[in-house]
C-alpha cells in the first residue's frame, strides 16, 4: 500500500486530521506523534484494526495495546474507573501516564491481548489529541516501530520501519520525552509502576501517591512467564552491536572502551565528555539524563548505522527520569553491566 505523509502545519491541518480520523474509523492505521514516542493507531473497538496493528508491527498477539482517549473521563466508556484513577488523572493527565483498569465487555480481547484489564492513556500532544477527536473513537496504539526495534521518536524512524505497511504517517517533529509512558497498575489500595517513564515515582509521591516499583523494572529476568506487564518479557531495542553499561564516571567508561575487543567501538557520553573520547565513534547523550532519555532510541538506531562493532555507555542512575532510562537501556544491553571492582 502507498503510505500517505502529512507534516503538521504544512497545509490544512483540519482537512488532514479529518482524513486521518476517517482512515481510523474505517479500519485503517495511522502513525502519529505523542509527547513520549510515535504511536501506531487504530480503532480500539475494532478487532480487525487491532489485528492489523499486530501484523504491521510483527508483534506477538498476547502483548496488549494501550487505548488512547482525548479526555480522562472518556475511559469510563470501556473501563471501570475508580477513585485512584481519578486522582492520578487529575494530577497527571493529559500526559505521559498509562493506567491499567478492569475492562468492560465492549473492549475487544484482541485489543487487550486477552486480558481482563485495559491500559488507558490520555496524551498531551496536540496532534495526538486532534487525531482522537477526529476519529471519534478511542485509539489503540502501540509504539510505531517494528517489533524488536527501538520506539520511534521521529516520523523518519516510523517511515523506516513501517512505510508501505500502514495508511498514513503524521509528522509532528521530534518527541519531547523520547521514552514511552509510565505504566501503572492499581490493586486495591496499592499503586505499582510496571514501566517507568516521565511521570516518575518522585512526582507521584509529591502528588500524595506512594507507588512501588515492579521488580521486573530493574531486573528483566524477574518478568517470568506471566509478568504484570506482558511487554516486559520481550527482548527490546537491542542494537546490532553488543552494548556494555559501565558503572562509574568518565575514567571508568574510557578504560572499558579502550579495552574493546570488537572495534570500531562507539561510546555514548555526555557532551562535556566528548573530548576525552577521540578515536571512538561518539554518540552524544547531551547534558543530563533527561536529554539522554530523549535521545536514547535515536542513538541506538544511529549506533546500528555507524558500523560500530561494540558500544559503551554510562549505567544510568535510578532516580527521577534515570529509572526509565535504566529500564530501557539494560534491556538494550541484555544485562551486560560492567561494575566497578
Nearer Cβ to ligand TXA, position 8 or 36?
36
- The smaller minimum CB distance to ligand TXA, of residues 194 and 315, is found at 194
Q: Which is nearer to ligand TXA, 121 or 294 (CB)?
A: 121
Of 131 and 183, nearer to ligand TXA (C-beta) is: 183
Task: State the Cα–Cα distance between residues 285 and 179, nearest whole angstrom.
Answer: 14
How far apart CA 242 and CA 18 sit, in angstroms, is 44
Q: Rule CB under 5 A: which of 34-93 touch Mg ion?
A: none
182 lines the binding site for Mg ion (CB under 5 A): no
For the CA atoms of the chain, what is the radius of gyration? 20
From the CB of 280, what's the least distance to ligand TXA, in Å? 31
Whose Cβ is closer to ligand TXA: residue 50's or residue 181's? 181
Evaluate whether 111 touches 66 at the Cβ level (below 8 Å).
Answer: no
Cα distance between residue 235 and residue 241, in whole Å: 15
- Which of ligand TXA, Mg ion, none has residue 306 at its interface (CB below 5 to 8 Å by kind)? none
Euclidean distance between CA atoms 44 and 172, whole angstroms: 22
Cell of 13: 491541518
Rounded distance between C-alpha atoms, residue 88 and residue 86, angstroms: 5
Phi, psi of 136 (to 5 degrees): 55, 30
Which of 81, 98, 68 is CA-nearest to residue 185? 98
CB of 57 to ligand TXA, least distance (A): 9
Query: In 3-state terms, the chain is what percent helix, strand and coil (to 5)?
Result: 35, 20, 45
For residues 172 and 127, the answer to whether their CB atoms sit within 8 Å is yes
Distance of closest approach, residue 143 Cβ to Mg ion, in angstroms: 3
d(CA 140, CA 138): 7
Task: Print the binding letters for residues 99-138 with Mg ion: x by CB under 5 A, - otherwise.
Answer: ----------------------------------------
Dihedral in degrees, nearest 10, Cα atoms 32, 35, 37, 41: -30
CB of 104 to ligand TXA, least distance (A): 13
Nearer of residues 36 and 154 to ligand TXA, judged by Cβ:
36
72 is in the binding site of which of ligand TXA, Mg ion, none (Cβ under 5 to 8 A by kind)? none
- Across 234-258, b (16+ Cβ under 10 Å) vs e yields bebbbbebbbbbbeeeeebbbebbe
Three-state SS at 83: helix
Q: What residues numbered 131-160 form the site for Mg ion, per CB under 5 A?
A: 143
Can you give the binding site for ligand TXA, defined by CB under 6 A? Answer: 34, 36-37, 39, 63-66, 98, 100, 112, 115, 117-119, 121, 141-143, 180-181, 183, 194-195, 229-232
Interaction partner, residue 171 (ligand TXA, Mg ion, none; CB < 5-8 Å by kind): none
Pick from 304, 129, 322: which is nearest to 217 by CA?
322
Task: CB nearer to ligand TXA: give 195 or 294.
Answer: 195
Q: Provide, rounded to whole angstroms, the least separation between the CB of residue 10 and Mg ion.
A: 27
* Contact partner at residue 82 from Mg ion, ligand TXA, none, CB < 5 to 8 Å by partner kind: none
Q: Which does 229 bind (CB under 5 to 8 A by kind): Mg ion, ligand TXA, none?
A: ligand TXA
Name the residue number minimizing CB distance to ligand TXA: 231
**Residues 43 and 102 sit within 8 Å (Cβ to Cβ):** no
Residue 238: CB minimum distance to ligand TXA, A = 15
> Out of ligand TXA, Mg ion, none, which partner does residue 98 contact, by CB within 5 to 8 A per kind?
ligand TXA
- Which chain residues interact with Mg ion by CB under 5 A? 143
Amino acid at each position: 500500500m502507498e503510505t500517505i505523509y502529512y507534516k503538521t502545519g504544512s497545509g490544512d491541518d483540519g482537512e488532514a486530521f479529518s482524513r486521518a480520523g476517517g482512515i481510523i474509523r474505517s479500519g485503517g492505521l495511522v502513525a502519529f506523534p505523542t509527547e513520549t514516542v510515535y504511536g501506531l493507531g487504530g480503532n480500539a473497538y475494532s478487532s480487525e484494526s487491532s489485528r492489523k496493528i499486530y501484523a504491521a508491527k510483527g508483534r506477538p498477539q498476547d502483548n496488549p495495546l494501550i487505548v488512547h482517549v482525548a479526555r480522562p473521563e472518556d475511559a469510563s466508556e470501556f473501563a471501570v474507573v475508580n477513585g485512584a484513577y481519578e486522582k492520578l488523572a487529575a494530577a497527571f493527565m493529559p500526559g505521559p501516564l498509562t493506567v491499567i483498569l478492569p475492562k468492560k465487555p465492549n473492549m475487544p480481547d484482541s485489543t487487550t491481548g486477552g486480558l481482563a484489564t485495559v491500559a488507558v492513556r490520555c496524551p498531551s500532544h496536540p496532534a495526538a489529541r486532534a487525531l482522537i477527536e477526529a476519529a471519534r473513537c478511542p485509539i489503540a496504539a502501540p509504539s510505531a516501530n517494528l517489533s524488536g526495534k527501538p520506539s520511534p521518536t521521529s516520523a523518519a524512524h516510523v517511515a523506516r520501519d513501517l512505510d508501505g505497511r500502514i495508511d498514513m504517517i503524521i509528522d509532528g517533529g521530534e518527541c519531547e520525552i523520547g521514552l514511552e509512558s509510565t505504566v501503572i497498575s492499581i490493586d486495591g489500595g496499592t499503586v505499582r509502576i510496571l514501566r517507568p517513564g516521565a511521570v516518575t515515582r518522585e512526582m507521584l509521591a509529591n502528588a500524595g501517591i506512594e507507588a512501588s516499583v515492579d521488580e521486573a523494572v530493574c531486573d528483566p529476568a524477574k518478568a517470568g512467564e506471566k509478568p504484570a506487564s506482558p511487554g516486559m518479557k520481550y527482548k527490546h531495542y537491542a542494537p546490532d552491536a553488543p552494548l556494555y553499561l559501565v558503572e562509574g564516571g568518565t575514567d571508568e567508561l574510557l578504560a572499558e572502551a579502550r579495552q574493546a575487543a570488537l572495534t570500531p567501538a562507539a561510546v555514548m557520553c555526555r557532551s562535556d565528555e566528548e573530548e576525552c573520547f577521540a578515536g571512538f565513534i561518539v554518540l552524544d547523550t547531551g547534558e543530563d539524563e533527561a536529554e539522554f532519555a530523549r535521545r536514547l532510541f535515536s542513538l541506538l538506531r544511529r549506533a546500528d548505522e555507524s558500523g560500530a562493532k561494540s558500544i559503551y555507555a554510562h549505567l544510568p542512575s535510578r532516580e527521577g527520569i534515570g529509572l526509565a532510562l535504566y529500564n530501557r537501556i539494560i534491556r538494550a544491553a541484555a544485562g551486560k553491566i560492567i561494575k566497578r571492582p
